[in-house]
Structure 1
Amino acid sequence: MNRAIFGCFLLLSACTCTKLPPTFKKCNRNQKDFNECLSKAVKDAIEQLNRPFRDEGLPSLEPLEIPELTVGAGTGAVEIRRGREKKGLKGAGGSCGN
């Protein structure tokens, strides 16, 4: 779960190519407890994204707007495809569990 959160955060950071908001916690990669610091920083950042940071170009995760979602399952005897358009997901910017 932590890897997924870290991956999403890293992707979001790389795609926007901008400075992070000043309220986001920063970690020095040379510090002894870098992994723990990063985990806490990502959780804190996700909790802060319940509102947009317009200056940095970061959208709000509450509600998380999904323009289109297609879910496909397997290539066996039965294949299921389901599509959805313009849906919102509430609670995506809430508190993170362990």
Structure 2
Amino acid sequence: LCSRAGSLTFKAPDNVKYPSMDLAYAAGRAGGTMTGVLSAANEKAVEMFIDEQIGYLDIFKVVEMTCDEHRNELVSSPSLEEIVHYDSWAREFAAGLKLTT
């Protein structure tokens, strides 16, 4: 079956067209609590979109603004309690953002 599928070609992602890729890579490089904050902010932003509180393109803005705010509080080797704390913090921060679109 695989031999009949032909060849696959992979290209580098277009980071201008998809800026969330750079944000996700940066969160991965930062490590610690940043990846959890990114994930929690994204989940909250998608929820806000579904509830028609923000537009689709605002999802990235919410996640980016939340991650930017967290940079100075990043914990490199977080405990479980810190992970849970920053997950809750990210959701609350994201929910409180007022975007002008």
TM-score over 0.5 for the pair: no
Q: Greater helix share, 1 or 2?
A: 2
**What is the TM-score when the length of structure 1 is the normalising length?**
0.33
> Which fold has the larger relative contact order, with Cα–Cα distance below 8 Å and residues 6 or more apart in sequence?
2
**What is the TM-score when the length of structure 2 is the normalising length?**
0.33
